[in-house]
């Protein structure tokens, strides 16, 4: 199984920085629920607002990689 991903987010200085977890909008765009994300070992941060596009595409690739192994 691939290693769980770590999300990134833009800081106020427009730099990419590690985020605490994936926002609910990112999980929803990728087609995951909070329970599914936690079962996959993905961090969830309910306090983050909005969806960062590269995080969503990375989540989709991770889902494809993990589901193809079953």
Q: Please spell the DSSP secondary structure of 2-63, one letter per residue.
A: PPPP--EEE-TTS-EEE-SSB-HHHHHHHT--HHHHHHTT--B-TT--S--HHHHHHHHHHH
Write down the domain spans for the chain: 8-68
Task: Please give the average per-residue pLDDT across 19-46, as a whole number.
Answer: 94
Mean pLDDT, rounded, of the chain: 89
Band (pLDDT 50/70/90 cuts) for residue 70 is very low
Per-residue pLDDT of 29-39, as tens digits, reads 999 999 999 99
Task: Please give the average per-residue pLDDT across 25-46, as a whole number.
Answer: 94
């Amino acid at each position: 199984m691939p290693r769980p991903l770590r999300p990134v987010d833009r800081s106020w200085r427009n730099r990419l920085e590690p985020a605490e977890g994936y926002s609910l909008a990112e999980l929803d765009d990728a087609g995951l629920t909070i329970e599914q994300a936690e079962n996959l070992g993905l961090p969830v941060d309910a306090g983050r607002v909005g969806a960062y596009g590269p995080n969503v595409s990375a989540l989709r690739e991770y889902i494809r990689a993990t589901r193809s192994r079953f």
